[in-house]
Amino acid sequence: MPRVVVVGGGWAGCAAALAALRAGAEAILLERADTLLGTGQVGGIMRNNGRFTATEELIAMGAGDLFRLTDRNARHEGISFPGHEHASLYDVGLMEPMVRRYLLEEGVEIWTISRVKAVERAGDTLKSVALDNGEVIEGDVFVDATGSLGPASNCSKYGNGCSMCVTRCTSFGGRISVTLKAGIPEKAGRRPDGQLGAMSGSCKLHKGSLARWVQEQLDRAGVAILPVPKDLAEQKMHHLSVKCCQQYALPEFAENLILLDTGHAKLMTSFFPIDDLRRVPGLENARYEDPYAGGKGNSIRYLALAPRDDALRVRGIDNLFCAGEKAGTLVGHTEAICTGTLAGHNAARQAYRNPLLTLPQTTAIGDIIHQSGEATESEKGLEQKFTFSGSDYFERMKSLGLYTIRVPEIRARIRSAGLTGVFATPLHEGAYA
């Protein structure tokens, strides 16, 4: 049985490991910290706008396991907030252990506190990766799901300093890119002003620090919209322009503080000075939970994009694939799970000497993978952000007729493309799956 080694245990890495396992490979998942999911531990928004379509596409293709877990763990379903419809919010406190247990039960081998610091390359092939402790992990194929966030020095260079976020670089070591260690140059996303990277788009407030009526509204409706004093609205609009989640860069997010119930209270802004935050009625005692320095800044992302093709194989290395933010300026958990699934599946195809799978642009997932990859080829394209849930790409989905919430229509689309159950089919040596 071939071995697929996935480096990085965020949503993309978890999806890649599971997809490789489903395709018939041994899957080893290496994570530098002591928990999985990365920023998925503080995110929580699923199925909003075009993410519903992408979710159901992947389910139809036989890779719905992780989406079923987020659905099962949803605190709220079918909620709306400015610019977003039919969203689900999972409980960020329960999601990581649920995913970890599921992966272990299915047979994924998980190594936490296992940061990869070096690789062994022979020609155009990776042979192994070496951990901080000196241990060497050999593999037949590798997936780089190390993301694009951190280490802390990047947040200081391109942002407002280390924001003390869930990444915890100072505790477990900063992100190290497998692609870069293999000698493949990477690119960085850009902001409209030319600065590199983009700031994470939300914070997490301690729910118990909010006024009782705000807590009750969050528990009941899943969302609370609190008007911002007028003198702060213009300042807040500037904050929106630097964030990675441009689907939330709407006037309503400048004129109000929008809170979502993910167990804690998800604050939909990159950062907000604590003294100003406490001027908003209901937030007089508010306290940041992630990042702890959310009054000053947030983590910086999109600093490490791998050159890759539409099968998500890294150009220049025959047996290295990439997923999540490593694969482009892709925003969101759904986007990470979709790219992770394709990368892990294709890693197994490579190991079994099967032809690689490229998803057609008649699917939303195939289209966003192609469009986000093409964008990295130009300086202007590196300013774009790609998400099913809003901004330019969601408009493209609608214009192409790719966006729908009618599940039978989505299943028919996947069936027409000949992809029904493709990710659930075990592979064999030299077979054409």
Is pLDDT of 272 > 60? yes
pLDDT in the model for residue 2: 96
d(CA 238, CA 104): 44
pLDDT of 432 > 50? The answer is no
Domains in the chain, number: 2
Tell me, yes or no, whether 242 and 363 share the same domain. Answer: no
Contacts (Cβ under 8 Å, ≥6 apart) of 278:
284, 285, 286
Q: Residue 104 pLDDT > 90, yes or no?
A: yes
For Cα atoms 15, 138, 14, give the angle at the middle one, nearest 5 degrees.
10
> Quick one: pLDDT at residue 252?
75
Measure the CA–CA gap between 296 and 203, rounded to whole angstroms.
11
Per-residue confidence (pLDDT) for residue 233, from 0 to 100:
64
For a pLDDT cut of 70, what percent of the chain falls above it? 95
Q: Token digits for 377?
A: 């080829």
**Pair (8, 113) in one structural domain:** yes
Instruction: Copy the structure tokens of residue 337.
Output: 């799970």
Considering the domain architecture, whether residues 160 and 71 belong to the same structural domain is answered as yes
My answer on whether 35 and 174 are in the same domain is yes
Q: Are residues 262 and 405 in the same domain?
A: no
Eight-state DSSP code of residue 426: P
Q: What is the DSSP letter of 248?
A: G
Average pLDDT, the chain: 94
398 contact partners, CB below 8 Å, separation of at least 6: none
pLDDT in tens, 211-266: 999 999 999 999 999 998 877 766 655 555 554 554 555 577 778 899 999 999 99
Q: Are residues 374 and 405 in the same domain?
A: yes
The Cα-based distances of 189 to 185, 239, 243, 307 in angstroms read 14, 18, 12, 13
The answer to whether position 295 is within a domain reads no
Residue 230 and residue 371 share a domain: no
Q: What is the pLDDT of residues 11-22, one digit of tens each?
A: 999 999 999 999
H or E stretch covering 240 = helix 230-241
Q: Does 291 sit behind a cis peptide bond, omega within 30 degrees of 0 on the bond before it?
A: yes
pLDDT per position as a tens digit, 372-429: 999 999 989 999 999 999 989 999 999 999 999 999 999 999 999 999 999 999 998 7
Task: Please give the backbone phi and psi of residue 7, each rounded to the nearest 5 degrees, phi first.
Answer: -105, 115
**232 and 360 co-located in one domain:** no
- pLDDT surpasses 50 at 290: yes
Asked if residue 257 and residue 165 are part of one domain, the reply reads no
| Location of structure tokens 């993910």 | 262
d(CA 255, CA 232): 8
| Residues 109 and 176 grouped into a single domain | yes
CB 149 within 8 A of CB 301: yes
What pLDDT sits at residue 433?
42
Q: What is the CATH number of the domain that holds 159?
A: 3.50.50.60
Q: Using an 8 Å Cβ cutoff, are 65 and 427 in contact?
A: no
Residue-wise pLDDT for 165-196, tens only, equals: 999 999 999 999 999 999 999 999 998 888 99
Q: pLDDT tens digit string along 38-60? A: 999 999 999 999 999 999 999 99
Nearest to 196 by CA among 163, 154, 164, 162: 154
Rounded percentage of the chain residues whose pLDDT exceeds 90: 89
- Per-residue pLDDT, 231: 74
| Judgement on whether residues 176 and 268 belong to the same structural domain of the protein | no
Element (H, E) at 78: strand 74-81
Residue 78 belongs to domain spanning: 3-194+300-424
Q: Three-state DSSP class for 332? A: coil
End residue of a domain, out of 290, 321, 354: 290
**Inside any domain, residue 93:** yes
Asked, for residue 433, whether it belongs to a domain, the answer is no
